[in-house]
């Protein structure tokens, strides 16, 4: 990881324009547009089923919207797959932890570095010498992440055996291992106790601060959202109902109504 340092919010890194996505009859997203600027922490909030996770899935290429454009680093694409997204610098975590349960913490994080490794997996398998050396370099990078997230003691433990809070942390580690430009976090603090949440907040802020990583964050805990995000976009029933700083959003009547369940 290379520290770019500072937290100057920069130009637009990602822009989604007029995104509509439906599954059969279910409209998960209708005409949603917003942007994410370099180095910022951008929260996406909204009641259950609002379409937040679907939005992340669109951004990292799991879902293909029927309509709309995704412009990442000034290149517009609608049909990218997860492989392209990852190779262009988008990493993510999942709402329901998606780790490689049979592997150790270290192996999970190493897997996150796959794209950083030299191309052509196949020849690497046969080339012992150089591949070994390269492997050591990546190993060192993985160890730095392990130190950063304070999970040295579970380096060798198969992640399936870890408690929930630690699994979430390993998943963050795997995403960080890719040294992403844009990090998508889907409810990184869900199901955690207060102390674990505080740790997670600290890690997110440190990543953003030390490495300048841009972060899109889905979170239900309003306290956390208001504390750490620079700007917030609010979805409800697949539509964007508000967009602005935490203070602006907090006072917005549509947002209050959506959270109180006022009928539309």
Partner 1 sequence: MGFFIEVLFGGFLAGVLYALVALGFVLIFKASGVFNFAQGAMVLFAALSLVRLMEWMPIPIALLVSVGIMIVFALVVERLVLRPLVNQEGIILFMATIGVSYFVDGFGQTIWGSEIYTLDLGLPKEPVIILESVFEGGVLVNKFDLVAAVIAGILVTVLAVFFQKTRIGRALRAVADDHQAAQSVGIPLRDIWVIVWSTSGIVALVAGIVWGSALGVQFSISLVALKALPVLILGGFTSVPGAIIGGLIIGAGEKLAEVFIGPSFGGGIENWFAYMLALLFLLVRPQGLFGERIIERV
Ligand X SMILES: Nc1ncnc2c1ncn2[C@@H]1O[C@H](COP(=O)(O)OP(=O)(O)OP(=O)(O)O)[C@@H](O)[C@H]1O
Q: How far is the CB of 183 from partner 1 (least distance, A)?
A: 11
Q: Pick out residues in 197-216 that bind partner 1 (CB under 8 A).
A: none
Per CB under 6 A, the list member of 7, 35, 49, 69 interacting with ligand X is 49
Count of residues in contact with Mg ion, rule CB under 5 A = 2
Is 99 one of the binding residues for partner 1 (CB under 8 A)?
Answer: yes
Residues near partner 1 (CB under 8 A), total: 31
16 near 69, Cβ under 8 Å? yes
Burial of 48 (0-12, 13-18, 19+ CB in 10 A): exposed
Q: Which one of 42, 52, 169, 231 is in contact with ligand X (CB under 6 A)?
A: 52
Residues 185 and 169: their CA atoms lie apart, in Å, by 11
Residue 92: which H helix or E strand, with range?
strand 90-92
The residue among 174 and 240 lying less far from partner 1, judged by its C-beta, is 174
Residue 244 region, left (φ>0) first, then alpha (ψ -120 to 50), else beta?
left
Residue showing the smallest CB distance to Mg ion in the complex: 53
**Phi then psi dihedrals of residue 42, to 5 deg:** -110, 120
Residue 26: contacted member of ligand X, Mg ion, partner 1, none (CB under 5 to 8 Å, by partner type) = ligand X
Longest CA pairwise span in the chain (Å): 66
Using the rule CB under 5 A, is 237 a contact of Mg ion?
Answer: no
Sign, CA dihedral 101-107-113-118, equals negative
Round the CA-based radius of gyration of the chain to a whole number and report it.
19
Distance between CA atoms of 207 and 2, rounded to whole angstroms? 11
With CB under 5 to 8 Å by kind, the binding choice for 48 among ligand X, partner 1, Mg ion, none is ligand X
Partner interacting with residue 245 (select from partner 1, ligand X, Mg ion, none; CB below 5-8 Å by kind): none
Is residue 95 near Mg ion by the rule CB under 5 A? Answer: yes
Q: Does 46 bind ligand X (CB under 6 A)?
A: yes
188 sits near ligand X (criterion: CB under 6 A): no
Closest contact distance (angstroms) between CB of 152 and Mg ion is 31
On the 0-12 / 13-18 / 19+ scale of CB atoms within 10 A, 67 is: middle
With binding defined as CB under 6 A, does residue 95 bind ligand X? yes
Closest separation in Å from C-beta 50 to ligand X? 4
> Residue 126 and residue 141: Cα distance in Å, rounded?
23
Q: Residue 46 binds which one of ligand X, Mg ion, partner 1, none, with CB within 5 to 8 A depending on kind?
A: ligand X
Neighbours of 44 (CB within 10 A): 27
Judged by the rule CB under 5 A, the positions of this chain that interact with Mg ion are 53, 95
Binding site for ligand X (CB under 6 A): 23, 26, 28, 46, 48-54, 95
């Amino acid at each position: 990881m290379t520290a770019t340092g500072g937290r100057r919010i920069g130009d637009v890194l990602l822009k989604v324009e007029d995104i509509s996505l439906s599954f059969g009859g279910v409209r998960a997203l209708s005409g949603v547009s917003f942007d994410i600027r370099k180095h910022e922490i951008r929260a996406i909030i909204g009641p259950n089923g609002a379409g937040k996770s679907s939005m992340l899935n669109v951004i990292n290429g799991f879902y293909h919207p029927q309509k709309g454009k995704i412009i990442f680093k000034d290149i517009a694409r609608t049909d990218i797959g997860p492989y392209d997204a990852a190779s262009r610098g988008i990493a993510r975590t999942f709402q329901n932890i998606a780790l490689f349960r049979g592997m150790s913490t270290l192996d999970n994080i190493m897997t996150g570095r796959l794209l950083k490794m030299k191309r052509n997996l196949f020849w690497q398998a046969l080339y012992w010498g150089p591949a070994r050396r390269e492997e050591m370099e990546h190993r060192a990078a993985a160890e730095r992440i392990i130190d950063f997230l304070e999970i040295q003691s579970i380096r060798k433990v198969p992640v399936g055996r870890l408690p929930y809070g630690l699994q979430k942390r390993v998943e963050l580690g795997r995403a960080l291992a890719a040294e992403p430009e844009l990090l998508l976090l889907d409810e990184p603090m869900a199901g955690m106790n207060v102390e674990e949440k505080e740790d997670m907040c600290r890690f997110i802020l440190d990543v953003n601060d030390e490495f300048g990583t841009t972060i899109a964050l889905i979170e239900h805990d309003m306290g956390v959202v208001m504390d750490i995000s620079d700007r917030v976009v609010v979805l409800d029933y697949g539509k964007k109902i508000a967009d602005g700083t935490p203070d602006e959003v907090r006072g917005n009547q549509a947002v209050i109504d959506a959270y109180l369940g006022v009928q539309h």
